[in-house]
Structure formats: C-alpha cells, structure tokens
Amino acid sequence: MKTLSAPPSLLSLYAKAAATSPLHRGVTLPDSVYQLEPQAVDTAHLAEYDRVCGFRFGDDLPPTYLHVLAFPLQVALMSERAFPFPLVGLVHVANEITVRRTVTADERFAVTVRAADLRPHAAGRQFDLRSEVTVQGETVWSGRSTYLRRAGRAPAGSAAGRSPKRAPAPPEGAVSRVRVPGDIGRRYAAVSGDRNPIHLHALTAKAFGFPSAIAHGMWLKARVLATLEGRLPDAFTVQVSFKAPLLLPSTVAVTTARDGDGWSLDVRDIRSGRPHLVGTLTR
C-alpha cells in the first residue's frame, strides 16, 4: 500500500504519463493500492465545484464531490509503468457511486484506490478503478469508474466500428432543458484536476478525432444529480453509462423519471435525441 499525506500533483502525474506512455507493456493490472490520509475539505474549492456543477452550496457534500478527492490517486495508479495502458486514450465509459450516508464538509476523509477486473470488450479491453472513502474507519462512500482501452484507431468516444442503433425513447418524467457552455470543460478541469486535452479546447480535441471539445462525463453526471437536489435519499447508488460524447457548446434535455423508489436518468441532445448519458438511482 502506498500511503500519501497529501494528494499527488496532477500536473506532475500528467507529465509523467506523457513521458512514460510508450513504456506501458503490462498485460495485467498492478496490485497497487493508493491510500490518502484523512483530508479536510477546502470549502472555497467546494463552493466553486458547486457553482460549476449546479449544486447549491451547503454543509452536505454533493454525491459526486468525493470522486474529485479520489481522482488524483486514480491518475497516480494509471501512471505506473506496470499499468498495462497509457493514460492518454483511455475512455471513461461508466461510473457508479454508492453513498452510504449523508457526508458533511466538516468531516475528514481518507481515500483508497485500486484497479480491478481487467476484461475483454467488443471494442478492446475494460477495467475498473475502485475508490473508497472512510471517516474514522467507517465507509461512507464508494465509487467504481469503468474505463475502456479501444483496439484499433477509432477516436476515443467515437462510434466507429459499431453498428448504428436507433436511440431508445427517453423515460417519461420531468424534463429540464440545460445549456452547456463552451467553456465548461475548462471550468470543470479547474475544479476536478482532469485536464484531458479533449475537454479543454477545440484545437486539442481535434488532435484526438473530435470536432470540438467535449464535456467531462463526471461533470454531466453531477449536473444531472443537481437537478434532483433536495429529493435525494440519505443513502443510494447511482450508476450511469456515458454514451455519445457531448460536444461543446450544446443544449441537452435532462429527464429524471420516478422508477419505484428510485429514478431513471437520461440526457440527450435537444434536437437529434442522441443519448449522452443513461442511468439509474436506487436506494
């Protein structure tokens, strides 16, 4: 286990990842475990995160905020030479968060991250990064981020190599029209540390096969949950799959529909109906 007293520098990790990208030769996931010692929440940072993602600022943490604490440890793990894939080119295809109880900004959070379940996929190979957040030994939050390493030359997030499918009808429920500004990638990068070039500028995104910058999947997940603020239970699991990339700027239709004691979540282009995110929230 690699125990850290402070989050690692993401700028240094990105530089390391760029320098070691050709050196990744492994065929299995490393058994490394990264642990961050208990950290206090920076309330100024939390307030900016809330503004960027559409949450109201308060004592309770948004369900997606603790992912930001885990993210530097995830990047550190994926930057290891023993990691089988270079960081650039990985596609975040799904994310699951379990909130065990309401967590508040005055608590101190320890974070643990590991990689697991390398498996084949029709488009390449997938694996999970599993994160756990504890308060004085009690698990209060866990996350699972699923990444895809594509085989072949299709750009990350593209539909190349897949048969076209008719988009399913959105669930019947409350629909919010959300404008997504062109700079949301840079704004979310500033609060999350995720400075993948596909999110920052059209020029850097075009180098990876996109016509413009695209929104972060975790920003989109947070923005959807912000539409349910005040109606979320104290404990729940929210699972989403990221579909077509959300090109910036855009306007999307966010649909939240009651499904038993949970919710169905759906985000799609306001004009074409092309889905960007589908998911569920269950108690």
d(CA 233, CA 137): 23
Same domain for 200 and 140, yes or no, is: no
Which tens digit of pLDDT belongs to each residue from 185-215?
999 999 999 999 999 999 999 998 999 999 9
d(CA 182, CA 212): 9
| Stated pTM of the model | 0.92
* Best CA proximity match to 160, nearest among 194, 135, 124, 191: 124
Q: Which domain holds residue 278?
A: 172-283
User: Stretch 63-71: mean pLDDT, rounded?
Assistant: 97
Which tens digit of pLDDT belongs to each residue from 130-186?
999 999 999 999 999 999 998 865 444 444 334 446 667 777 888 999 999 999 999
d(CA 269, CA 281): 21
Over its C-alpha atoms, the chain yields an Rg (Å, rounded) of: 18
Which tens digit of pLDDT belongs to each residue from 220-229?
999 999 999 9
Same domain for 142 and 182, yes or no, is: no
* Best CA proximity match to 93, nearest among 151, 24, 144, 33: 144
Q: Sorting pLDDT into bands at 50, 70 and 90, what band is 23?
A: low
| Count of domains forming the chain | 2
Q: Which of residues 88, 123, 153 is at a domain's end?
A: 153
* Best CA proximity match to 72, nearest among 135, 2, 20, 150: 2
Same domain for 261 and 123, yes or no, is: no
Helices (H), the chain: 10-20, 43-53, 65-78, 184-192, 202-206, 217-226
Residue 26: pLDDT above 90? no
**Range with top average pLDDT, 11-15, 21-25, 64-68, 270-274:** 64-68
Which tens digit of pLDDT belongs to each residue from 75-121?
999 999 889 999 888 999 999 999 999 999 999 999 999 999 999 99
CATH code of 258's domain? 3.10.129.10
Q: Which of residues 120, 153, 186 is at a domain's end?
A: 153
Taking a C-beta distance cutoff of 8 angstroms, is the pair 29, 71 a contact? no
Q: Is 164 within the bounds of a domain?
A: no
Same domain for 204 and 244, yes or no, is: yes
Same domain for 113 and 181, yes or no, is: no
216 HSE (CA, 13 A, CB side): 26
Residue 97 Ramachandran class (φ > 0 left, ψ -120 to 50 alpha, else beta): beta
Contacts of residue 231, Cβ cutoff 8 Å, sequence gap at least 6: none
Q: Is 167 within the bounds of a domain?
A: no
d(CA 24, CA 144): 23
Same domain for 176 and 109, yes or no, is: no
Residue 41: pLDDT above 80? yes
Q: Sorting pLDDT into bands at 50, 70 and 90, what band is 21?
A: low
